[in-house]
Every structure is written in C-alpha cells, then in structure tokens.
Structure 1
Amino acid sequence: MIMVRAIIRPDKKDSVLQELSRAGFNAATVVDVVGRGKQNGIKFGDIVYDEIPKSLIMVVIEEAEKDKILDVILRHAKVGENGSFGDGKIFISAIDEVYTVSSGLAGL
C-alpha cells in the first residue's frame, strides 16, 4: 500500500476530488493548509506572501493503482494545458499497515 499526498491549489480541489471519485478512488482525506514552494512565496512590490493557501488531499491505495491516480491528479490539478508555478506537488510514501478503527481489521 502507498499513501498519495497531493498539495494543490484550493480552486482545483473539487474537480480533483470529483475525478478521483469517477476513477474509483472514493476515500480521501482533505485538509486546508498553507505553505510555500521553491518560489519562496509570492511578491507584489514590497509585500511578500509566504503562506499561500493550498489543499492537501491524502489517499491510501494499493501500489498497483499508482499510475492511475497520478494520471488523474496531474491532469486535473494543473492550471491550463501546460501547468503553472504553484500548481502543487505530489508525494508518495509506503504504508506498512492499515487498521479499521471500528472493527480492528487490518487492510483497506
């Protein structure tokens, strides 16, 4: 199993979640976050905004589904056809164990 964490623009959150659901990825955790990327925030004259609003979408899936979920997120999270600075990042990490709280059963 793997966890996919996608940090994306807040205005793309609904469309990404809708497309994930369409692709069969119904379970997701969504958190509103702030942060900055390599560009070190946004500058307008002397004003610097270094806490940029983003949305964090987290999904745990079987590793065999990695390419499918990446395709969905990459196609629907970017601005325009070629994307833009600030569109976000996707992080993938291994998950060793998963348990359902209500039943105590292991696995997704």
Structure 2
Amino acid sequence: MKKIECIVHPSKLEAIRDSIGQFGFKGMTLTNVLGCGLQKGRTEIYRGYTITNNFFIKTKIELVVRNELVDYVVDVIIKEAQTGEIGDGIIFVSDIESAVRICSGVCGNIAI
C-alpha cells in the first residue's frame, strides 16, 4: 500500500475527486492548509501599509491506495491539477506498512 499526499489549489479539488471517484476510489482525507514554496509570496498595500504574504491557501489531499494503482492516481491528479504555473502543487508518495479498519478489524488491502 502507498499513501499519496498532494497539495493543490482548492479550486482543483472537485475535478480531482470526480476523476478519481470514477474508478471506485471513495475515501480521502482533506485538510485546508497554508503553505509556501516556489511561488515566493506577494506584496500588497492594505490601508497604506505594505504587507508581504508568503503563505497561500491550498488543499491537502491524503489517500491510501494499492501499489498497482499508484501511478494511475498520480497521473489523474497531475492531469486535473496542472495549469503549468508555479504553485500548482506537489505530490508525495510513501509506503504504508499496514491498515486496519477499526469497526471490523479487517487488515491490509481489504481495509482500504
């Protein structure tokens, strides 16, 4: 099993969810986050004061998938989230040793 974590524009969330959902993925965890990266930040003037904003609102999506589906899910996320601009986001893939469904005690791939 692999855990896929991606940080994307909030406006891309629905398209990603719908594209992944067409192939049976039902569960994901979403978190609204603030972050900075290659975008650097922007300077604004608010009521006469110069304000530098280094953090941007993003959505973090977390899902766990079987090993053979990782490339497919990553490709779908890239297809739906990519605009070609800096700040499109990032995807992390990491190993998951085990999963246990709390309500039934089911373990492994069946649990996800």
Task: Say whether the fold is shared (TM-score over 0.5).
Answer: yes
Q: Which runs of 5+ in 1 are unaligned?
A: none
The CA distance in 2 between the partners of 1:95 and 1:87, in whole Å, is: 26
The CA distance in 1 between the partners of 2:24 and 2:70, in whole Å, is: 13
After superposition, give the CA deviation of every residue in 1:5-34 in whole Å (9 maximum; x if it has no partner): 010001111111111101332211111111
Equivalenced residue count is: 105
Match of 1:53 among 38, 57, 67: 57
After superposition, give the CA deviation of every residue in 1:72-104 in whole Å (9 maximum; x if it has no partner): 00000122xxx1100000000000010101112
Deviation at 1:44, TM superposition (A): 4.4
Number of the residue aligned with 2:32? 32
RMSD: 1.5
TM-score normalised to structure 1 length:
0.88
The CA distance in 2 between the partners of 1:78 and 1:47, in whole Å, is: 29
- Please say which structure displays the higher CA radius of gyration: 2
Matches within 5 A, 1:1-108: 1-44=1-44, 46-79=50-83, 83-107=84-108, 108=112
Q: Which runs of 5+ in 2 are unaligned?
A: none
Instruction: Say which is worse superposed, 88-97 or 28-37, in terms of deviation.
Output: 28-37
